[in-house]
Structure 1
């Protein structure tokens, strides 16, 4: 069969117009027919087979690699490998399982080449004073935000287990433990299926799972953000996001401090320094975003199944505002902000479908 990729629709990442939301899902008979056609070299049939699975495969690649851009590259490479190998897929297992095999192995190769991603809070203690002119740390592979849909069904089902704390903790695990945990606990594969996927034994899979769970448990409290957001409800979450946007755009320090928990943290990758506690966070906010940045414009988005705000900065209120950061908010049970992670850089905006500038 041909070695040329059929370039399946939407293979570069989520949120494209040609993604699965715009493709009709084939029924069982149609899928079986498409599989026969794809094995014979029909690229269009291969694309139809991928359409219902592409988004979940992309989310899996992100969880494995911690970067939407790395996930784009890994998924594209996995789809190319799958296309080249589809003729050898005999259908003894599910196509979904086989594609996860290809995607996971591709991600393990990528993780071995690049290493683990991190956030500033993983690498050192909080700053003891405000750092005004810190240089970006370009030697660290930083975690990035992940765009997720705004509808509750997509947020809690299709994109479950991408909350920021969970993906950050995953990056601290060796690749085999990360893969085993995701495949078993998140995606529901059995130990025997994972063993076949990873070319090992069920006993080794169970051992990797146990080690991964112990390491995650020792990393800190459970990952409760999705449960907290559900308990708060969409209206309360929107209220906090709206209040945060208004405080930033008005430069209102009092309104901002009222939104923060006492032990709030704020980090800004690729800047290595970060702040802990309301006093430290507000000292930074008063010195930098509320003073040194003349004008802010904001757009509410959703990242990692959490509320987030895309921030643009301009020289004045009527000037063009340029993409600055995507800030992911972690909310406490009372609706206040417990953590802010501001991912600095215009490169984070395109995956959210956002422009680089606002007039």
Structure 2
């Protein structure tokens, strides 16, 4: 019984760190699925080597060291993840074509609940949500892996320079230098603040209610009234992305006409409001998955709409229904 109790206690202690470690690995890797694999690998390594853990650091620090090594190994083996806007300029709607780029490893969305542990401090919650925004995670992918780890540990998780140096087996001076270079790189990208998804204030709730009504009614005048003038729209795994009202509406009323008559179900992704889009089913009886739409709210308008079309991956991950009835 003693050994069983000890085993269960260790399992419980390790599991207590799963969500925050998944958030860390997601920021490092840009993939919800790879992050979960990395954390599982971390847990297995920790379990196997726990007898060697001498307690010279906290269990949390030790787990982060293992997770960092796992992520660095994974990053050394593959390409950085990207969004369509990281690869090309915006496409005028007259030239727009849907081209899937299989050689690109796309940045993936993630459910908030998989990567954001419950914390009491609203300020900490705001930082955590901001640091899983698609734009922020995409910018992180431009950093060399060790710089990426340093920036996340120092700026997002608020570790001290000495703690990061110990974790990485380097000097405080090296950590500070890496952080300075990482900050300079991120300064090159547009990371203007977006508004948090949770909790939504009344104006944000109204904005999203109007978005649902406009999208489901396929009312382009009402939809563009909710978008910033420079709003963007992307559709991974296609490399196409559009900017501005005219091009977005031009697309929606041409190739995008297949979205007419869709139903939207609310969820949250990457610290932002999101919707599962269901398209009229081929048999005409109900609705089937079409896209996961992640929105970014900026001020009183929507600044970005990212449509993730690989629903066989995203809908199960987000716990979304496989089908809606004819009544929606």
When the two structures are superposed, what TM-score results if normalisation uses the length of structure 1? 0.81
TM-aligned CA distance change 1:152 to 1:54, over 3 Å: closer
- Determine if contact 2:216/2:260 at 8 Å carries over to the other structure: no
Counterpart for residue 276 of structure 1? 243
| Contact preservation (8 Å) 1:241, 1:300 | no
Measure, in 2, the Cα distance between the counterparts of 1:59 and 1:146.
9
Q: In 2 relative to 1, CA 231–72 (structure 1 residues): closer, same or farther, beyond 3 Å?
A: closer
Q: 1:42, CA displacement in angstroms? A: 4.4
Distance 2:203 2:284 in 1: 31
Distance 1:156 1:318, change over 3 A: farther
Distance 2:40 2:109 in 1: 19
Name the residue aligned to 1:237: 204
> Which residue does the alignment assign to 1:261?
228
Q: For the residues of structure 1 that align with 2:79 and 2:222, how far apart are their CA atoms?
A: 40
In the alignment, is residue 124 of structure 1 matched against residue 91 of structure 2? Answer: no
Shift of 1:317: 10
Counterparts of 1:317 and 1:236, CA distance in 2: 38
Is this contact kept in 2: 1:295–1:315, CA < 8 A? no
Give the distance between the partners of 1:185 and 1:127, measured in 2 at CA.
Answer: 34
Choose from 85, 105, 108 the match for 1:141: 105
> How far apart are the structure 2 equivalents of 1:223 and 1:61?
23
- C-alpha spacing 1:105/1:223, structure 2 compared with 1 (3 Å): farther
**Whole-Å separation in 1 of the counterparts to 2:39 and 2:198:** 34
SS at match of 2:290: strand
Of 321, 324, 327, the match for 1:358 = 324
| Cα separation, 2, equivalents of 1:71 and 1:209 | 23
Name the residue aligned to 2:148. 178
Equivalents in 2 of 1:152, 1:340: separation in Å? Answer: 28
Q: 1:132, 1:288 within 8 Å by CA — same for their partners in 2? A: no
Equivalent residue, structure 1, for 2:180: 210
Residue 199 of structure 1 and its aligned partner are, at CA, apart by 1.9
User: Retained in 2: the 8 A contact 1:294–1:315?
Assistant: no
Greater mean alpha carbon deviation, residues 109-118 or residues 176-185 = 109-118
User: 2:253 aligned with 1:286, yes or no?
Assistant: yes
- In structure 2, distance between residues paired with 1:159 and 1:105: 24
What displacement does 1:160 show?
5.3
Q: 1:231 to 1:196 in 2, by over 3 A?
A: closer
Equivalent pairs counted in the alignment come to 317
Q: Distance in 1 between matches of 2:142 and 2:240?
A: 19
| Aligned equivalent of 1:191 | 161
CA deviations over 1:210-262 (Å, ceiling 9, x no partner)? 10000001223x4411xx34899522222222211221211211211111111
Q: Give the counterpart of 2:50 among 86, 97, 105.
A: 86
CA contact (8 A) 1:131 1:273 kept: no
SS at 2:236 equivalent: coil
SS state of the match for residue 135, structure 1?
Answer: coil
Instruction: Pick which of 104-113 and 233-242 moved more.
Output: 233-242
TM-score (norm 2): 0.89
1:158, distance to aligned residue in structure 2 (A): 6.0
Moved more, 125-134 or 275-284: 125-134
2:276 maps to what in 1? 310
What secondary structure is seen at the aligned counterpart in 1 of 2:264? strand
Per the alignment, residue 115 of structure 1 pairs with 79
Unmatched 5+ residue regions in structure 1?
A: 1-35
Q: Which runs of 5+ in 2 are unaligned?
A: none
Q: Give RMSD over aligned pairs.
A: 2.6
Residues 314-334 of structure 1, C-alpha deviations (whole Å, 9 max, x = no match): 14795232212111111121x
Alignment check: 8 A CA contact 2:128 2:156 kept: no
Instruction: Please tell me whether residue 341 in structure 1 is matched to residue 306 in structure 2.
Output: yes
Kept in 2: contact 1:165–1:223 (CA 8 A): no
**Within 2, Cα distance between the matches of 1:245 and 1:331?**
14
Distance 1:336 1:356 in 2: 30
Which digits, 9 at most, give the CA deviation of each residue in 1:65-93, with x for residues without a partner? 11111111111111111111111111111
